[in-house]
Amino acid sequence: MNAFGARTAFVTGGGSGIGRALSKALSARGITVAVTDVDHDAAARVAQECGPRAVAAALDVRDPTAVREAIERFAAEHGRLDYVFNNAGIGTAGEVDDIPLDAWRRIVDINVYGVLHGVLAAYPLMLTQGFGHIVNTASLAGLGPAPLFAPYALTKHAVVGLSTSLRIEAAARGVRVSVFCPAAVETPILDSMNPAEFGINSAPDARRFLTALAGPPYSVENAVAELLVALDANHGVIVLPARARLAWRLGRWFPTLVEKLGRSALAAERKALK
The answer to whether residue 2 is domain-embedded is no
Q: Alpha carbon 186 to chain centroid distance?
A: 13
The answer to whether residue 223 is domain-embedded is yes
| C-alpha separations of 133 from 9, 39, 175, 233, 253 in Å | 9, 25, 6, 12, 31
CATH of the domain at 64: 3.40.50.720
* pLDDT at residue number 6: 54
Nearest to 151 by CA among 91, 200, 192: 91
Q: Determine the structural domain holding residue 162 and report its residue range.
A: 8-273
| Residue with more model confidence, 138 or 211 | 138
The answer to whether residue 158 is domain-embedded is yes
> What is the average pLDDT across 98-118?
96
* pLDDT at residue number 273: 85
The answer to whether residue 1 is domain-embedded is no
pLDDT band with cut points at 50, 70 and 90 for residue 199 = confident
Per cent of the chain over pLDDT 90 is 81
The answer to whether residue 54 is domain-embedded is yes
Residue 14 pLDDT > 70 = yes
| Residue with more model confidence, 6 or 35 | 35
* pLDDT at residue number 190: 82
Query: CA–CA separation, 41 vs 35, rounded Å?
Result: 11
Query: CA–CA separation, 37 vs 87, rounded Å?
Result: 10
Residue 221 pLDDT > 50 = yes
Pairing of strands 55-58, 133-137: unpaired
* Mean pLDDT, the chain, integer: 93
* pLDDT at residue number 200: 82
> What is the average pLDDT across 70-95?
96
Query: CA–CA separation, 147 vs 263, rounded Å?
Result: 8
* pLDDT at residue number 192: 74
pLDDT band with cut points at 50, 70 and 90 for residue 5 = very low
218 part of the active site: no
Residue 13 pLDDT > 70 = yes
Longest dimension (CA), the chain: 57
> What is the average pLDDT across 239-243?
94
Q: How far apart are the first and last CA of the chain?
A: 53
> What is the average pLDDT across 131-153?
96
- With b for 16 or more beta-carbon neighbours within 10 A and e for fewer, the 149-188 pattern comes to bbbbbbbbbbbbebbbebbeebeeeebbbbbbbbbbbbbe
The β-bridge partners of 10 are: 34, 84
The answer to whether residue 227 is domain-embedded is yes
H-state helical runs in 85-219: 101-108, 114-129, 150-171, 206-214
* pLDDT at residue number 111: 98
Catalytic residue among 83, 113, 123, 152: 152
Query: CA–CA separation, 74 vs 265, rounded Å?
Result: 45
pLDDT band with cut points at 50, 70 and 90 for residue 208 = confident
The answer to whether residue 96 is domain-embedded is yes
Lowest mean pLDDT among 94-108, 197-211, 216-230, 246-260: 197-211
Whole-prediction pTM: 0.94
| Total domains in the fold of the chain | 1
Residue 201 pLDDT > 80 = no
